[in-house]
Amino acid sequence: MERLQKIIAQAGIASRRKAEDLIVAGKVQVNGKVITSLGTKISEKDEVLVNGKPIVKENKEYYLLNKPRGVITTTNDEKSRKTVLDYIDTDARIYPVGRLDYDTTGAILLTNDGEFANIMMHPNNKIEKVYVAKLNGIITVDQINKLKKGINLDGTLVVPQRVKLKKIDASKNTSIVEIIIHEGKNHQVKRMFESVGILVDKLKRERIGIFTLANLQSGEYRKLTPKEVAIVYSLKK
């Protein structure tokens, strides 16, 4: 059994909040009866009409994209810039799970399964996000230790699971660092490095949970396997 507004939202009719407005306004019927209570739960067997039209449930789709640099992580952009949806060949109403900055590359998931997205993004599930950062400067041991102890962002102490120096190029005054985090705060990785006095030149997310880029080139994507989807659902608490 699922809440009525969630079923409407998953069908792509409206956002969950807009679906609630439709219910309160008496625009939704279940099995021929007008429903105005937001606490109503229904099953897959129930017939739902919104504004007199039956909702059509989409088949669930799941994708992993290697997002290129300069692509917006959203379903549309008012400036007509490329979005992650431009790279996926589907008619389903998919959307990105979380986000990557405009100039950040790498792994991002897209789906039309709200429950799957919630599991991947819920902080209690502590999904690992693995980033590799190219830094403008040579990071010091002291700076790395400060990162390991945790950085205060927006009033919350953010402690990375791992910080590992991978490479130093003294001739170019750059360094490469791998950092693993669980949170998904806005510009989090860049802000963490900035807080210890070093700037990020390039940032790539190489893994989200079990999902790695493997052989995906920039701009390429693949469908998730049923086994991968089942593994994500096994994390549900």
Residue 86: active-site member = no
User: Is 139 in the same domain as 191?
Assistant: yes
Q: CATH number of the domain that 44 lies in?
A: 3.10.290.10
By DSSP bridging, strand 33-34 and strand 211-212 are unpaired
3-state secondary structure of 212: strand
CB-neighbour burial class of residue 206 (10 A; exposed 0-12, middle 13-18, buried 19+): middle
Q: CATH number of the domain that 152 lies in?
A: 3.30.70.1560
| Mean pLDDT for the stretch of residues 138-161 | 96
pLDDT at 177: 98
User: Is 96 in the same domain as 110?
Assistant: yes
Nearest to 24 by CA among 40, 41, 1, 47: 40
Tokens of 182: 């669980």
pLDDT at 15: 67
For residue 48, pLDDT over 70 is answered with: yes
User: Is 182 in the same domain as 220?
Assistant: no
User: Is 109 in the same domain as 170?
Assistant: no
User: Is 43 in the same domain as 147?
Assistant: no
User: How many domains, the chain?
Assistant: 3
Print the domain residue range for 174: 128-208
| Mean pLDDT for the stretch of residues 19-45 | 91
User: Is 137 in the same domain as 201?
Assistant: yes
pTM for this prediction:
0.82
For residue 50, pLDDT over 70 is answered with: yes
* Residue 155 and residue 99 in contact, taking contact as beta carbons nearer than 8 Å: no
User: Is 142 in the same domain as 180?
Assistant: yes
23 pLDDT band (50/70/90 cuts)?
Answer: very high
Catalytic residue among 21, 89, 101, 142: 101
- Tell me the C-alpha distance between 88 and 91, whole Å: 9
User: Is 109 in the same domain as 143?
Assistant: no
User: Is 142 in the same domain as 100?
Assistant: no
- The most confident of 29-43, 111-125, 190-204, by mean pLDDT: 190-204
Token look-up 């949806």 returns 85
For residue 55, pLDDT over 90 is answered with: no
User: Is 109 in the same domain as 142?
Assistant: no
Q: CATH number of the domain that 87 lies in?
A: 3.30.70.580
Tokens of 8: 């409407």
